[in-house]
């Protein structure tokens, strides 16, 4: 009987547990930079490398959906210099990495209120979505200017408009109605939510969608998170018993 490689073992676990969707709160870039006596910008740039590693790992392991928290609605409260840097980092990363991601069959989407971003950045985002929309590999959702409460407010407003036009009757509103009006309407809810950096909070991330997700917090900062760390998370997921309230 052939000996399975480490990747094959994890791939089998993904199949066995039907692990489709991993969501990540990418925390700890600035703390990692501080501990290495570097400006915070270096931590954010190193975080891009970790995101690329996570995408490749999901592809290797057979995980179809990866959603990452890149910029929250609350992050506007950071210094104007850091906000400008993060906006520029997203633009530059997409422009530099889009060709490779497209060749690797990645599907790129964005969740959040992107209308608040500059016209230039919106065009870059739309181009990334359009370029990769027919791919069939890992689905990467980047949460940018995203907040779960803001998302739910948008969904409620959209549903109210449909009620006003008679498209929906109030008595027919269900959980599926709400799910289908969220930014994530076309993808399954996360099976596993990972937070790096050790903080024990959700930070207004996918509040509706993670109702029955398994939660895993690691003390590793995001720039330290690699393929091995993702494999360890999947092994931990394998050891969980998902009851869904039963």
* Residues 9-238, CATH architecture: 3-Layer(aba) Sandwich (3.40)
pLDDT of residue 243: 73
Over residues 68-91, the pLDDT tens digits come to 999 999 999 999 999 999 999 999
pLDDT of residue 123: 97
Q: Please tell me the least confidently modeled range out of 47-51, 126-130, 187-191, 239-243.
A: 239-243
Angle at 241 between CA 237 and CA 242, to 5 degrees: 90
Domain ranges of the chain: 9-238
Average pLDDT value for residue range 187-193: 97
pLDDT of residue 3: 67
Catalytic residue check, 27? yes
Among residues 171, 170, 163, 155, the alpha carbon closest in space to that of 207 is found at 155
The catalytic position among 27, 60, 189, 191 is 27
H-run or E-run covering 152: helix 148-164
pLDDT above 60 for 226: yes
Q: Please tell me the least confidently modeled range out of 4-8, 221-225, 236-240.
A: 4-8
pLDDT of residue 2: 67
Work out the number of other CB atoms within 10 angstroms of the CB of residue 27: 24
Over residues 12-39, the pLDDT tens digits come to 999 999 999 999 999 999 999 999 999 9
pLDDT of residue 1: 55
CA dihedral 161, 164, 165, 170 (to 10 degrees): 90
Integer Cα distance of 201 and 24 in angstroms: 12
Catalytic residue check, 150? no
Q: Are β-strands 139-146 and 214-217 bridged in parallel, bridged antiparallel, or unpaired?
A: unpaired
Over residues 97-145, the pLDDT tens digits come to 999 999 999 999 999 999 999 999 999 999 999 999 999 999 999 999 9
The catalytic position among 12, 75, 102, 204 is 75
Over residues 167-184, the pLDDT tens digits come to 999 999 999 999 999 999
pLDDT of residue 136: 96
Work out the number of other CB atoms within 10 angstroms of the CB of residue 119: 7
């Amino acid at each position: 009987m052939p000996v399975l490689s480490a990747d094959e073992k994890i791939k089998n676990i993904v199949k066995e547990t039907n692990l489709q969707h991993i969501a990540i709160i990418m925390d700890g870039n600035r703390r990692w930079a501080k501990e290495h006596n570097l400006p915070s910008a270096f931590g954010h740039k190193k975080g891009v490398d970790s995101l690329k590693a996570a995408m490749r790992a999901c592809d290797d392991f057979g995980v179809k959906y990866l959603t990452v928290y890149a910029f929250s609605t609350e992050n506007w409260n950071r210094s104007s210099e850091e906000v400008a840097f993060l906006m520029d980092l997203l633009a530059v990363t997409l422009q530099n990495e889009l060709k490779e991601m497209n060749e690797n069959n990645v599907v790129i989407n964005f969740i959040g209120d992107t209308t608040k971003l500059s016209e230039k950045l919106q065009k870059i985002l739309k181009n990334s979505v359009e370029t990769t929309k027919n791919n069939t590999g890992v689905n990467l959702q980047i949460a940018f200017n995203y907040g779960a409460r803001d998302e739910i407010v948008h969904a409620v407003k959209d549903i109210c408009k449909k009620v006003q036009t008679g498209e929906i009757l109030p008595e027919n509103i269900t959980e599926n109605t709400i799910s289908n009006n969220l930014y994530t309407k076309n993808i399954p809810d996360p099976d596993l939510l990972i937070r790096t950096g050790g903080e024990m909070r959700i930070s207004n991330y996918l509040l509706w969608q993670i109702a029955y997700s398994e939660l895993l917090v690691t003390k590793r900062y995001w720039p330290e998170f690699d393929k091995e760390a993702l494999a360890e998370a999947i092994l931990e997921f394998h050891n969980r018993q998902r009851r869904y309230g039963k």
